[in-house]
Structure 1
Amino acid sequence: MGSSAKLLLPTLAVVIAILAVVIGPKYLSPEPPNSIISNQVIDGISFPSSVKIAGSAQKFIGGGTRFKWGFKVYALGIYGEDKTIKSMTKKYAGASMEGLMKSDTLFTDFSESKSAKTLLLRFHREVGSSDVADALGEALKPRLGEKESESFQTFILDVVGGERVQKGSDIFITCKGEKLWASTTGGSDNASSITMKGLCPAIFMVYLGENPVSPHAKEGFVKGFETMTNK
């Protein structure tokens, strides 16, 4: 190998290292595909077929993985009341996966429905509590504004408690009307609540709207909904 080539190799290594720091490894290493093994298993994490929160039984629809810098952070399961699912499956009967993905009304219909619906976050890894709260707050800013999103950040941070969210932990976020409940156990008795105009549809559109924080979760929701629609 020539002397110029020997000098070039360390230089390339330095450039790659700088790129990894500046733009993040997710651009150097693409996110792996979403893995839904069955209707209620997402990337190896099982989800209950139903939950009952805020006095309302809700069925598992679908979900996917939330990645950050190419790493799995949590798996997300999305739940809705049977009456909402039945109404929407009737409305979108016969629709294809492609058609549903392009249908903005599907996501707004679900997110803006007044009946109970739940986001269940199950963590693949340990992360900072403030990182979780900040990420959700930042995603809400375009939809709610800075003041309201910061209020929600504080609310979620209080719910999670402590400095770290441990691997295997859960966060349940349930909406009914304009009221939102959140807890780490899913029980209504010990759940904290907050009422804020526009918060409930906004938090669901973080995952189901344009430029979702987890495209995999949006796709998984549509896959599950398509299955229910075409039964």
Structure 2
Amino acid sequence: MGTSSSEGGDGISIDGIFFPPDLKMGGVLQQLTGGGTRTKYNVAKVYAVALYVDSRGAAGSLKKFAGSAKQPALYDALATGLFAKTLFLQFHRAVSAQAVAEALAESLAKRVPAATVDKFRVALLKICGEEVAKGAKLYFMCKGEALSIGGGTPDAQATLKEKGTCNAFFDIYLGKAPISAAAKEGIGVGFAQRLYLAS
């Protein structure tokens, strides 16, 4: 099952979930690139996810990719860049917080030490409570080595400063084996369509 996205107003709709053209987290205004849907067993829609980046702060490393989609070097630059960037998740269905935390922690466990994974899991569960409701919003922002997590609104409610965590977290979505191929593709295509084209 593929992801459907469409332009709407000043943002985009991904499988019926609207994402605004920008958001502000950590005091940094960030612009929408694109995104897609995370499915389970290629059938059940779990959440839609979109990437936002500080286009000013990222211009030096990303502007050379303007108008180009799906380049491996683009995804690497997005994942490893020290500029502010946020993955914004909105849920299609209610899911236990434990299931969300374990799925992301399992992906992180392939990339960072176990102690870092444990800190991430604890922080996320504290924000989510027992259940991630249908329509719930989660925000994961990186700037430098700091990963900030917010629930409901783009406000940092927990921050991890473990080395390598930001690169690892974004690699889950932008790496060679992404958790959602549709989201990775949507981010690449959206980047090419939206950022740095005016100049």
User: How does the TM-score come out when normalised to structure 1?
Assistant: 0.78
Aligned to 2:176: 210
Question: What does 1:78-157 align with in structure 2 at a 5 Å threshold?
Answer: 78-93=51-66, 95=68, 97=69, 101=70, 103-157=71-125
Report whether the alignment pairs 1:186 with 2:153: yes
1:146 to partner: Cα distance: 2.7
Matches within 5 A, 1:1-231: 32-38=1-7, 40-69=12-41, 70-93=43-66, 95=68, 97=69, 101=70, 103-161=71-129, 163-188=130-155, 191-228=157-194, 231=197
The structure where strand makes up a greater share of residues is 2
What does the per-residue CA deviation read over 1:83-121, in whole Å, with 9 as the maximum and x for residues that have no partner? 1453355312453x3xxx2x3321121111111110111
Structure 1, unpaired ranges of 5+: 1-31
Identify the structure with the greater helix proportion.
1
2:3 counterpart SS class: coil
Cα distance in 1 between the residues matched to 2:24 and 2:177 = 30
Letter of the 2:103 partner, please give it. Answer: A
Deviation at 1:187, TM superposition (A): 4.0
In structure 2, what is the Cα distance between the partners aligned to 1:230 and 1:152? 33
Equivalent-residue separation in structure 1 for 2:165 and 2:64 (angstroms):
25
Which residue in the other structure is 1:15 paired with?
A: none
- Which segment drifts farther, 103-112 or 82-91? 82-91
Q: 1:46 and 1:138 mapped to 2: Cα distance?
A: 28
Task: State the TM-score, normalized to the length of structure 2.
Answer: 0.90
- Give the greater-gyration-radius structure (CA): 1
Of structures 1 and 2, the one scoring higher in RCO (CA 8 A, sep 6+) is 2
Q: Note if contact 2:23-2:154 (Cα within 8 Å) is conserved in structure 1.
A: no
Per-residue deviation, 1:229: 5.6
Where structure 2 has 5 or more consecutive residues not aligned to the other structure, the ranges are none
CA RMSD of aligned residues (A): 1.7
User: Structure 1 residues 66 and 46, CA, compared in 2 at 3 Å: closer, same or farther?
Assistant: same
